[in-house]
A = this chain, B = another copy of it.
Amino acid sequence: MDNINISTISEVVKDLAQNHVKFSRMCHMRYGKEPLPQQSLVEELVDTCRAILFPGFFGNEEINAQNIEYSLGIACDRLSVVLEDQISAGLTIASGDPCGEMPEIQARARDLTARFISDMPKLRDLLFTDVDAIFLGDPAAATHQEVIYCYPAVKAISAHRIAHQLYGYGIPIIPRMISEIAHSETGIDIHPGAQISHHFAIDHGTGVVIGETAIIGHHVKLYQGVTLGARSFPTDENGNPIKGIDRHPIIGNNVVIYSNATILGRITIGDNAVVGGNVWVTQDVPPGARVVQAKTR
């Protein structure tokens, strides 16, 4: 007999399939036909948005004058289906009642989907400022086209601006799934809650972390490995972290932060400041200041 002992497998399967309390948090199960967040659909959602925002660079690579309107139309139609479904999934989970009546949730999901799609042109305009900032900030970039094709920041920032918009609607989980997709692609981890102004640039980017309550001005540029994190966070009487407290830095306009700098806590980096690489900053930095690492030995 070449197979694993049959009873081994059936015992393990029975054990794993048991629905006890602890296991229930590890298992993502449908009770009826309610929508659930689905990794594969959220990935499609991100791909579809990028195909709409940067036609020909992402998605259908054969765009021309003859087919661009149809191609965008199909993409928007598909986006409307997938997004409504995943928004419903997020709202359902937040409702705490996966099996309850859902007509209100569906109506709200439809409204939010329409709102999101209506805002796509504005999103594209905002992303163009980011592409422009990256292009102007890097002598190695020959064309805007090269920036869109070859800079991971474009993937990371486009995902962030999509996720941030959905986060603003109060939809749980889905925005974080989006940001994690970009994190896995690029090594750049931006929490959907972070508020980032126009002309935002990241170079290289691997290891960048931007926390939930960070606020970033316009014309800011980050290099790889920069952390805008929390220093510590208060816990409640049970020792659990208190959610929703402002705990990440505020970065002014025209700031440059070099590679592997770590900036922690609700501090402010003033306009036009420059933060050197590999530093650990936990105090305010005044406007126009320059912070660098202690001398090496």
Q: Which residues of A contact B (CB under 8 A)?
A: 1-6, 8-17, 19, 22-23, 25-33, 36-40, 52-58, 61-74, 76-77, 80-81, 84, 93, 110, 113-114, 117-118, 120-121, 124-125, 127-128, 131, 136-140, 142-146, 148-152, 172-173, 176-177, 179-180, 183-187, 189, 191, 193, 204, 206-207, 209, 211-212, 223-225, 227, 229-230, 233, 239-245, 247, 258-260, 262, 264, 276-281, 291-297
Contact = CB atoms under 8 A, between A and B. Distances in A.
A294 to B, nearest CB: 4
B80 A22 contact: no
A39 B142 CA distance: 18
Contact of A206 (B139, B149, B206): B206
12 contacts: A3-B65, A4-B66, A4-B114, A9-B80, A13-B69, A16-B124, A17-B72, A31-B64, A67-B77, A149-B177, A206-B206, A295-B297
The oligomer's copy count stands at 6
A258 B229 CA distance: 10
B280 A138 contact: no
Given A224-B209, A276-B280, A294-B295, A25 B145 contact: yes
Nearest to A179: B150
Contacts of A61: 28, 36, 38-40
Contacts of A84: 4
Contacts of A65: 3, 6, 19, 29, 31
B277 A4 contact: no
Contact of A29 (B11, B68, B76, B138): B68
Contact of A227 (B28, B152, B240, B259): B259
Given A145-B25, A184-B152, A264-B277, A12 B76 contact: yes
Contact of A57 (B19, B28, B76, B148): B28
Contacts of A56: 27-30, 36
Given A121-B12, A139-B244, A142-B243, A292 B297 contact: yes
